[in-house]
Amino acid sequence: MRRGFDLVAPHYRWMEILTAGGKLHRCRTQYLKEVDSSSRVLVFGEGNGRFLCDFLRTNSVATVSCVDSSSGMIDHARRRMRHFGLPEDRVSFIHENALNWKPRLSDYDLIVTQFFLDCFPANELRSVVGEIALSSTTDAKWLVADFREPVSGWRRARARFMLRVMYWFFRNATGLAAWELTNPDLLLCSAGFLLKTRRISEWGLLHSDLWVKQ
Ligand SMILES: C[S@@+](CC[C@H](N)C(=O)[O-])C[C@H]1O[C@@H](n2cnc3c(N)ncnc32)[C@H](O)[C@@H]1O
């Protein structure tokens, strides 16, 4: 039985600031302008609502569904929205495991997975990406922000060390099934998406992508 992110939820914000400053949030918000007219948005593993709040400020039309298996994270996201006076009627929170949840319609023109796909081991990631892709419209965009491993050199060694520490922590704190990073690029391509733009930062440790459906 996986414990999930409830225990970590109250500490997630300060831990992120302490370990990464604003670097992860720059990845999350990199392409907000490109998605300011998306109308049906599906966010997986939104966490404490930081992307969601910035998104709602720049996009005044979209309705958003957020699927997250942690009720603690959902509470934090709701509180953050209230704190900033953002319209709660535009967002539905769905407390579900992404491995089990299926949308009723395939009408999402924007998919968002940020620091979420890294939660899955390779065998689960394949089905998660496939199912998520099925929920999207033919012209959908997909925002992905996550960690990555550079291909060689000291940057790779540094990233591998940091990832090892991160996975050790999250496996112990949340019962995460993954113990290493699986690159989702080929899975996104197989699911019909094409990488439009990628920004790599933090010596190759982070990437922020905009994918578009073919
Ligand atoms: C590492 S946190 C990332 C949170 C946020 N997106 C961010 O950018 O920091 C992973 C999030 O995904 C959620 N999550 C992990 N596994 C999940 C699953 N199988 N189904 C749904 N949500 C999941 C966690 O509860 C948590 O909110």
Give domain limits for the chain.
9-213
User: Tens of pLDDT along 126-179?
Assistant: 999 999 999 999 999 999 999 999 999 999 999 999 999 999 999 999 999 999
Residue nearest (by alpha carbon) to ligand 1 atom 27 = 47
Q: Give yes or no for residue 49 CB within 6 A of ligand 1.
A: no
Q: What is the rounded distance in angstroms from the CA atom of residue 81 to the CA atom of residue 90?
A: 11
User: Tens of pLDDT along 25-56?
Assistant: 999 999 999 999 999 999 999 999 999 999 99
- Looking at residue 103, its pLDDT comes to 87
For the CA of 51, the nearest atom of ligand 1 = 8
Cβ pair 121, 179 in contact under 8 A: yes
Residue nearest (by alpha carbon) to ligand 1 atom 12 = 45
- Looking at residue 104, its pLDDT comes to 82
User: Tens of pLDDT along 84-128?
Assistant: 999 999 999 999 999 999 888 889 999 999 999 999 999 999 999
For the CA of 43, the nearest atom of ligand 1 = 6
Residue of 5, 25, 53 to test ligand 1 pocket, by largest number of atoms within 8 Å of CB:
5
- Looking at residue 34, its pLDDT comes to 97
Q: What is the rounded distance in angstroms from the CA atom of residue 85 to the CA atom of residue 66?
A: 18
Residue from 32, 80, 83, 79 nearest 60 by CA:
32
Q: Provide, rounded to the nearest whole percent, the portion of the chain with pLDDT above 70.
A: 99
Per CATH, the number for 9-213 is 3.40.50.150
Residue nearest (by alpha carbon) to ligand 1 atom 6 = 46
Q: Give yes or no for residue 97 CB within 6 A of ligand 1.
A: yes
Q: What 3-state DSSP class applies to 134?
A: helix
Q: Which residues of 95-107 are buried (b: 16+ CB within 10 A; e: fewer)?
A: eeebeebebeeee
Which helix (H) or strand (E) element contains residue 152?
A: none
